[in-house]
């Protein structure tokens, strides 16, 4: 089954149906900006908020990432990750320009996007999404933003993450 969202009103399809609340989150292994391997299974034990952005170099993705970067500094009990399929260099350049120091994971090969089924093949970008995982890796909140140019529901995601 394909899930459809819109990009500026035009319908685009995801590669499948993203994982849902109550399901075990698919494991992943991606590199951060320091070229360290970050594997989901190594992060378990604390709640995790995964912020997925289509392209770090766009306005809404920038707003979303800066907002979660700020929240990460205020909520030490939750691990915050931002994932996009931008290259390491693109993410590094953006972080340096914006003063962002949160955990950024890059996936230009689309492994994460395919396993979470949020890749939009015709755009080669990810859908804007938020996943909150409990300490065991179970998804307790997910939002696939229906219109790519809109921001996610920060308050709801943060409320769920804070309650864990």
CA–CA separation, 100 and 105 (whole Å) = 13
Rounding to the nearest 10 degrees, give the CA dihedral for residues 62, 68, 74, 80: -130
DSSP 3-36: -EEEETTEEEE-SSPPP-TTSBPPP-EEEETTS-
- Known catalytic membership, residue 61: yes
Task: Name the catalytic one among 61, 78, 83, 130.
Answer: 61
- Helices 59-74 and 154-163: crossing angle in degrees, nearest 10, is 30
Helix residue ranges per DSSP H, 1-153: 40-43, 59-74, 88-98, 111-115
Q: Are 96 and 90 in contact (CB under 8 A)?
A: no
Q: Which residues form the catalytic set?
A: 61
């Amino acid at each position: 089954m394909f899930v459809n969202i819109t990009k500026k009103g035009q319908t685009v399809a995801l590669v499948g149906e993203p994982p849902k609340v109550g399901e075990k989150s698919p494991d992943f292994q991606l590199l951060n900006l320091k070229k360290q391997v970050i594997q989901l299974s190594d992060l378990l034990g604390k709640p995790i908020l995964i912020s997925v952005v289509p392209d770090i170099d766009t306005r809404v993705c920038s707003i979303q990432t800066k907002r979660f970067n700020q929240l990460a500094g205020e909520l030490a009990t939750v691990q915050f990750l931002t994932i996009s399929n931008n290259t390491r260099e693109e993410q590094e350049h953006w972080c340096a320009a914006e003063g962002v120091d949160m955990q950024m994971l890059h996936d230009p090969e689309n492994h994460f996007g395919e396993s979470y089924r949020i890749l939009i093949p015709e755009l080669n970008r990810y859908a804007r999404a938020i996943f909150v995982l409990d300490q065991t890796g179970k998804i307790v909140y997910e939002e696939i933003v229906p219109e790519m140019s809109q921001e996610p529901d920060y308050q709801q995601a943060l409320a769920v993450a804070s309650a864990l």
